A and B are shown apart, each in its own frame.
Chain A
Amino acid sequence: MDLTSLLVLAGFGAFHGLNPAMGWLFAVALGLQERSRDGVLRALPPIVFGHAGSVLITLGLVSAARLAAPPKAVSYGVAAVVCAFGLWRLLKRRHPRWVGMKVTRWQLAGWSFLMATAHGAGLMVLPVTLLGGHEGHGGHGGHDAAALASQSLLATGVHTVAMLVTTTVLALVVYERLGVSVLRKAWFNLDLAWAVALIGAGAFAALT
């Protein structure tokens, strides 16, 4: 995986971390509810863990597909799924609901996993990880499982670290300094950007 890919992965991580719907806002709310910064910090690991889980599972499934199918087929398949998901996000508004404000760590991780999955977080990252597949390998069986697994782990790791940093900084700055009133102006609707990013990533997968 080259530097560009790593930067793109990190960039997507920061983009996901920025989105209040991906968890930092939940962490702030839980901290405010118990009036403690520790509450904010305690909530972050499960949130990041759930997000990473969603990304890793998506990448893992596609890696498995790459072992079994020709790279072109996988690329086009990924392109179709990611684009379709982007379009669906563009057209359909949803209000996912699973938990309330009283959550255990596992519920918080599960919530984050569902939010990331429902938003297609892993799908957005996916096309970047296919890049390596076209270089030097041709035809069926050009990958070995170990290489793919380590690549998926590395991609998820880079993405997750970037997400963790962004989310933590935002949660603490909002909790300590800005206050949640900042949401009234600064909570931009990322749905459109998110859908465009997905469609762009899908197109990228088809064209490379």
Chain B
Amino acid sequence: MPLIQPDPTFYPSAREAMLAPPEELAYVALLDPAGGRPDGLATIDLSDGSIIDVHDMSVPGDELHHFGWNVCSAALCPYAPHPHVERRYLVLPGLRSSRIYIFDVKDDPRHPKLVKTIEPETVFKKTGYSRPHTVHCGTDAIYVSALGNVNGDAPGGVFTLDHDTFEPKGRWESDRGSQRLHYDFWWHLGHDTMITSEWGTPNQIEPGPSLELLVGRQYGHRLHVWDLAKRRHLQEIDLGDQHQMALELRPAHDPTKTHGFVNTVINVEDLSANIFTWYLEDDLWKARKTITIPAEPADPDLLPEPLKQFGAVPPLVSDISLTLDDRILLVSAWGTGELKAYDVSDPFAPRETGSIRIGGIARRDAHPAAPGRALNGGPQMVEASRDGRRVYFTNSLYRSWDDVFYPDGISSWMAKVDIADDGSIALDPGFFVDFAADGRRAHQIRLQGGDSSSDSYCFP
């Protein structure tokens, strides 16, 4: 049923969304590492970090990764307004299986209910793509990125799902220009511009990280800029082929701004990870390197096989999150086990304001909730609350990659930091979700009602 007033979780601007009440629940995708059990969708009570519910998928082998909402604040956009719909469905793609699950959280938010499954064959037939990944609620449809075509090769791209029926509507691009590789996408709604990033084709990434591809600089290292309304490729931005794997895209939430941030996982020349700021200048989109996080020397005995020769741990920055006021950028260094915070009020001169340590390939730092216990994995999927005060993160990256960098097998957890007014961060000693008993690995977190990567806004 349509609502009489707009869904109360919709906000015209990010500024107003920051006034939203604090989140009470988190939904977390769980991946089965062994391959025999189905993946799960966990519901976490954020008041005490307890696991309320885990809903198993219908079959094993999906490899849940990222997911998103059916609709969000973009429904208030004035050129395609439909604000009387409800944010109640979670759209969960299986990155390996290409199956898409739709969960309804309205009737009982603590126990999401599976209401629809889109089978891989339908995705293949309707879109020509496979390996669905990022989900964003758009102004006119649900947008989903896909890493490759049906054979697991390039091109990857974007397809859309109908808002109401969730049926795949088809490929999004009308002209893909030079774009072949794909990973993430997001947009500047005020400028009708979409940005997409590059990881690798399914055939390149599914067997695990390849030193050969890395040394050959074969993974993605470009951004692509698109006309969102005309669905046309406008230009590419090459970040430099030493910067392998350009992943998460965090455009400014204010639609009048024209900059954003992207992380590159590893520089093959010095093992550093980097953040680039993209921006619009004289009608051309450009990017500039604004943060470099260097590799950390470590005892080779503590390192997994591929890293022994270097005697150093690469930070492997795998995810970033931008608070809704476009002020604090959270950066996950999954390799070194560090979560960093930067003040990016000046997007070209980020200033580090905080850092915490947990896990890490060599360090294995503990959480204050269990001081004696060495943790593996590191800060990975990171999500900031709408008010920009709390940040939640999990520790698993991608199954076949987890096993290379943490060969002892990641024992999964979720932790939280609080952000202070000055941008410093501190681990909440009372919040530690331990998934060891479940045995599955936590990936993306979605906060009830929305978070800092779930919604986009048409008003400043």
Binding site for B on A (CB under 8 A): 20-21, 25-26, 28-29, 32-33, 35, 93, 95-103, 111, 180-181, 183-185, 187-189, 191
Contacts and interface: CB of A to CB of B under 8 A. Distances in A.
B5 A188 contact: yes
Interface string B442-460: 0000000000000000111
Interface of B: 2-6, 8, 10-13, 16, 76-85, 139-141, 163-164, 189-192, 228-229, 255-256, 458-460
Contact of B12 (A21, A98, A183, A189): A183
Given A101-B458, A189-B3, A20 B81 contact: yes
B192 A102 contact: yes
Contacts of B189: 100-101
A38 to B, nearest CB: 16
A33 B256 contact: yes
Question: 10 tightest A-B contacts by CB?
Answer: A100-B192, A97-B140, A100-B229, A26-B78, A180-B12, A25-B78, A189-B84, A29-B78, A97-B80, A21-B81
A20 B78 contact: yes
A93 B78 CA distance: 17
Contact of B190 (A20, A21, A96, A101): A101
Contacts of A181: 11-13, 16
Contacts of A98: 79
Contact of B82 (A93, A180, A183, A188): A93
30 contacts: A20-B78, A20-B81, A29-B458, A32-B459, A33-B255, A33-B460, A35-B256, A93-B2, A93-B82, A95-B139, A95-B163, A97-B80, A99-B229, A100-B79, A100-B192, A101-B189, A101-B190, A103-B79, A111-B79, A180-B459, A181-B12, A183-B6, A183-B12, A183-B83, A184-B16, A185-B5, A187-B6, A188-B5, A189-B4, A191-B84
Contacts of A103: 79
A109 to B, nearest CB: 13
Contact of B191 (A95, A97, A101, A191): A101
Contacts of B16: 181, 184
Contacts of B140: 95, 97
Contacts of A96: 80
Contacts of B6: 183-184, 187
Nearest to B12: A180
Contacts of A185: 5
Nearest to B230: A100
A77 B13 CA distance: 45
B329 to A, nearest CB: 24
Contact of A29 (B2, B4, B192, B459): B459
Contacts of A183: 6, 12, 76, 83
Contacts of A188: 4-5
Contacts of B80: 95-97
A107 to B, nearest CB: 10
Contacts, number: 89
B120 to A, nearest CB: 26
Nearest to A19: B81
Q: Which of B3, B12, B139, B228 has the most chain A CB within a 10 Å cutoff?
A: B12
A184 B192 contact: no
A130 to B, nearest CB: 31
Contacts of B82: 93, 95
Nearest to A29: B78
Contacts of B77: 29, 101
A185 B83 CA distance: 11
A81 B83 CA distance: 27
B13 A180 contact: yes
A153 B82 CA distance: 32
B253 to A, nearest CB: 14
A21 B190 CA distance: 18
A32 B5 CA distance: 23
Given A95-B140, A100-B192, A102-B192, 20 more contacts: A21-B81, A32-B460, A33-B255, A33-B460, A93-B164, A95-B82, A95-B163, A96-B80, A99-B229, A101-B190, A102-B191, A103-B79, A180-B12, A181-B16, A184-B5, A184-B11, A189-B2, A189-B4, A189-B5, A189-B84
A93 B139 CA distance: 14
A189 B3 CA distance: 7
A100 B6 CA distance: 21
A183 B5 CA distance: 9
A184 B13 CA distance: 11
Contacts of A189: 2-5, 84
A32 B459 CA distance: 7
A100 B138 CA distance: 12
A185 B8 CA distance: 8
B5 A101 contact: no
A96 B139 CA distance: 10
Contacts of B11: 181, 184
Given A20-B78, A29-B78, A101-B79, A184 B12 contact: yes
B197 to A, nearest CB: 21
B229 A184 contact: no
Nearest to B163: A95
A95 B3 CA distance: 15
Contacts of A28: 78
A140 to B, nearest CB: 44
Nearest to B3: A189
A187 B5 contact: yes
Contact of A101 (B10, B84, B192): B192
Contacts of B458: 29, 101
Contacts of B164: 93
A98 B402 CA distance: 44
A99 B459 CA distance: 16
